Amino acid sequence: MAEPTFRAPKGTRDILPPDSGRLRALIGEFARIAELSGFGEVVSPMFEDIGVFLRLGETTDVVTKEMFDFLDKGDPPQHFALRPELTASICRAYAEHRPVPPWKIWYEGPQFRYEQPQAGRYRQFTQVGVEVLGADDPQVDIDVIALGWEFYAALGLRQVELVINSMGDASSRPAYIDTLTAYLRDHRDELSAQSQVTLDRNPLRVLDSKRAEDQVVIDAAPSMVDHLNEECGEHFAVVRAGLDSLGIPYSMSPRLVRGFDYYTKTVFEFVGEALGGAQNAVGGGGRYDGLVEDLGGPATPGIGFALGVDRILLACDAEGVFAAPPPSVGVFVVDVTGGSHALDVCQRLRAGGVGADRAYGGRSMKAQMKVADRSGAPYAAIIGEDEVAAGEVTLRDLRGDSGQRRIALDDLVSDVRSLIQN
């Protein structure tokens, strides 16, 4: 094959059938589970005024280094960015529309980050997620985490692990950051060069480092959960007790600080153990009690998560679960009369709710049967001169061993429906 003139941009992919069907099925499953818990879908723009995302934090890589931003054609031009995540857009929407709290919403769609692409890391990737705005009750944290947990289980994944931590709040965090900064400064020379830079910009983010040379210092670092004030400590205790009572296993990690500056109190990550390697986070989230206010709305607590669909599908491959759904064409119509019978029979089947497809171009029986085979349809309806004369079709089983038989055209839809249901 000749080299194509154009390829999909670096870090993006075309998702073709049957993988696209699997993606759609996964989103459908997420929608089902979210709606069962009272969440409604929000569809928001794929780009926003860049200011919306800048509120996510000045030391957040996603904002400082990875934004796909552009000026529009206005005079003066407005500065926009493709969304790198959806929490900021949802908080902007909340501040704009002021829905009655608690506002429980779910979403799905592509996100854009200018990252170095590698396995499981793309420049355009799909997330599904939920947010609950306007409720600071720790019961919400439990509900949200449990929903993510249930979703992975519903896909058939068994090797997903939950890691949790608490980031404290505006009153407990400064004291912790002071303690942490003092500790990290004492060990500055033992840190990697990158972490020394991070230390000056955002000491918390040093805990996030995966670099081998940082691990000894990080392991011995003071932990946020030991510095929580009474309210944050109680909140976290209720969340843990709730997860225990639901039988959801978790581990605690003082290292889990998540990539965004806006988190408060509960933070969590779902790790796909079957993925191995560095890109094994299949989802994450946390509480962000100040974000709506930062975006110009009323003081509003919030919590949510985003799950990485592309990586979840890689985890499903690794665990051998959640295969692509079967093809929706039930009958492939093979018309060897060269007439318009295929058109009529396909219409009749589709009108009766049975997926139907056909070959084009007046090809031979053999050629059409080959296409029928490739279509994945379980049955072929063959139409020759004899069948037309008798008002019948020959129904051939393409996947099983029940051979073929002639049936009246008028019975085709009901016969195929009962065969497919069995």
Report in angstroms how near the CB of residue 14 gets to ligand AMP at its nearest. Answer: 16
Report in angstroms how near the CB of residue 37 gets to ligand AMP at its nearest. Answer: 20
Q: Which residue is nearest to ligand AMP (CB)?
A: 308
Which of 113, 173 has the CB closer to ligand AMP? Answer: 113
Which of 275, 333 has the CB closer to ligand AMP? Answer: 275
Which of 85, 141 has the CB closer to ligand AMP? Answer: 85
Single-letter amino acid code for the residue at 288:
Y
Report in angstroms how near the CB of residue 258 gets to ligand AMP at its nearest. Answer: 6
Report in angstroms how near the CB of residue 269 gets to ligand AMP at its nearest. Answer: 7
CA 346, 347, 348, 350: dihedral to nearest 10 degrees?
Answer: 80
Report in angstroms how near the CB of residue 283 gets to ligand AMP at its nearest. Answer: 5
Which of 284, 301 has the CB closer to ligand AMP? Answer: 284
Which of 87, 368 has the CB closer to ligand AMP? Answer: 87
CA 226 to chain centre: 33
Report in angstroms how near the CB of residue 124 gets to ligand AMP at its nearest. Answer: 8
Report in angstroms how near the CB of residue 87 gets to ligand AMP at its nearest. Answer: 8
Q: Which residues contact 74 (CB under 8 A, 6 or more apart)?
A: none
Backbone angles phi, psi at 416, to 5 degrees: -65, -40
Report in angstroms how near the CB of residue 149 gets to ligand AMP at its nearest. Answer: 14
Measured from the Cβ of residue 137, the count of other Cβ atoms closer than 10 Å reads 14
359 vs 71, 205, 254, 394, CA distance in Å? 47, 58, 60, 16
Measured CA to CA, the distance from residue 64 to residue 205 in angstroms comes to 14
Which of 85, 335 has the CB closer to ligand AMP? Answer: 85
Which of 259, 327 has the CB closer to ligand AMP? Answer: 259
Longest CA–CA separation in the chain, Å: 93
- In the complex, the residues that contact ligand AMP under the rule CB under 6 A are 85, 113, 115, 120-122, 125, 127, 259, 281-284, 306, 308, 310-311
Task: Judge contact between 274 and 322, C-beta under 8 A.
Answer: no
> Beta strands 69-71 and 103-112: pairing type?
unpaired
Residue 195, burial from CB neighbour count under 10 angstroms (0-12, 13-18, 19+): buried
Measured CA to CA, the distance from residue 325 to residue 376 in angstroms comes to 11
Report in angstroms how near the CB of residue 316 gets to ligand AMP at its nearest. Answer: 13
Report in angstroms how near the CB of residue 284 gets to ligand AMP at its nearest. Answer: 4
Residue 249, burial from CB neighbour count under 10 angstroms (0-12, 13-18, 19+): exposed
CA-wise closest residue to 89 among 112, 71, 115, 65: 112
Which of 39, 332 has the CB closer to ligand AMP? Answer: 39
Which of 176, 270 has the CB closer to ligand AMP? Answer: 270
Which of 57, 120 has the CB closer to ligand AMP? Answer: 120
Measured CA to CA, the distance from residue 95 to residue 385 in angstroms comes to 68
Measured CA to CA, the distance from residue 346 to residue 351 in angstroms comes to 8
